[in-house]
Structure 1
Amino acid sequence: MALAQAQHLVKQLSDKLEANGTQVLYAIHPVAGRMPGHMNVLLCEADVPYEKLHEMEEVNPEFDSCDAAIIIGANDVVNPAARDAEGTPIYGMPVLNVDHAKHIIICNYDLKPGYAGVDNPLYSRKEGVSLLLGDAAETLSQLLQSI
């Protein structure tokens, strides 16, 4: 989201979903972005109300009843391998439990592993995952048009 400067498109998507009766929560991992709070600042810049921004510990239980999680430009912080891939750099790292949602839409530039170099099994999951690859501004625009 930050690299593509897509925070305003994220807000537009949220507005459109909410207009259709969808509850939207923003899940922010503590290490998302270049510095702590980076994603919060970008989203607030796009007029996302601060009370909609939720820390990982607060929002993780919500994924069990979540119909759809939309991931924008994240890899390691949503990689479920962190729970069981012993010997990897991310093993034991807390992650957003997006893999518990009924459906996951991933807007990511490519399928390469994140900074830790660990493959994300969500990228090869056969059911319940939609991959929208490319620049986040472009994939979010496509998603907005399809709704």
Structure 2
Amino acid sequence: VLFSGFGGTTATADVGDKPVNRATPDDVAIALGYADSAMIVPGYGLAVAQAQHVTRKLADELERRGVKVTYAIHPVAGRMPGHMNVLLAEADVPYDQLADLDQSNPMLPQTDVVLVIGANDVVNPSARDDAGSAIYGMPILEVDLAKTVIVVKRSLSPGFAGIDNPLFYNDNTMMLFADGKKAIESVLGALDDL
């Protein structure tokens, strides 16, 4: 059983004073540890934090617990095409766990938990839903369709496109505000206590 926003408190965000569901590492560990399936979406924040190795450790621990783990790779996540593929290859992530945009989107509505680590514009539903948005029409990973979304990000600041992301304010989204590497290390520690 997965919960959206459990244990978290509603916090006021810097951007537009909209409420968000704030998560703790324990909340994230519970959601991931009891999921049947998890999809990890790496972004530029993962690269900046050099979190690829600890993310691989988290995925390995989840798999050991019986969670099916997939990495959803957006072709322009990061600062250059293929950036995430290079980082995950450095961490020896098995190639068969990687799914591109076209493979990932059909899986998302059946995915229990999506863990977004430092990605922003490539998961912004405004690209799909808001004809007035600067990114309207850009293909995105439709993570908002998953049962539970956890976003690891240092703040609510906009991504490269400079626009707010409504994903952060969805009822099924929890925000874990921290550096990507530190956040994933904390989640790993919390998983040990489950």
Q: Which moved more, 1:69-78 or 1:114-123?
A: 114-123
Unaligned runs of 5+ in 1: none
The corresponding residue for 1:12 is: 57
CA distance in 2, matches of 1:37, 1:78: 17
1:145 aligned partner, one-letter code: G
The corresponding residue for 1:91 is: 136
2:133 aligned partner, one-letter code: T
The corresponding residue for 1:122 is: 167
> Identical aligned pairs, as a percentage?
52
What TM-score does the superposition give when structure 2 sets the normalisation length? 0.73
User: How far is the alpha carbon of 1:86 from its aligned partner?
Assistant: 1.7
- Runs ≥4 residues deviating over 2 A: none
In the comparison of the two structures, how many residue pairs are matched?
Answer: 146
The corresponding residue for 2:102 is: 57
What's the RMSD between the two structures over aligned residues? 1.0
| SS of equivalent residue, structure 1 residue 24 | strand
User: How far is the alpha carbon of 1:87 from its aligned partner?
Assistant: 2.4
The corresponding residue for 1:37 is: 82
Deviations along 1:108-134, one digit per CA (max 9) or x if unpaired, are: 121012111221112122x22211112
Is the counterpart of residue 110 in structure 1 residue 110 in structure 2?
no
The corresponding residue for 1:101 is: 146
| SS of equivalent residue, structure 1 residue 118 | coil
Larger RCO (CA under 8 A, 6+ residues apart): 2
User: How far is the alpha carbon of 1:141 from its aligned partner?
Assistant: 1.1
What TM-score does the superposition give when structure 1 sets the normalisation length? 0.95
1:22 aligned partner, one-letter code: V
CA distance in 1, matches of 2:148, 2:100: 21
The corresponding residue for 2:189 is: 145
1:52 aligned partner, one-letter code: Q
The corresponding residue for 2:16 is: none
User: How far is the alpha carbon of 1:40 from its aligned partner?
Assistant: 0.7
The corresponding residue for 2:93 is: 48
User: How far is the alpha carbon of 1:59 from its aligned partner?
Assistant: 1.1
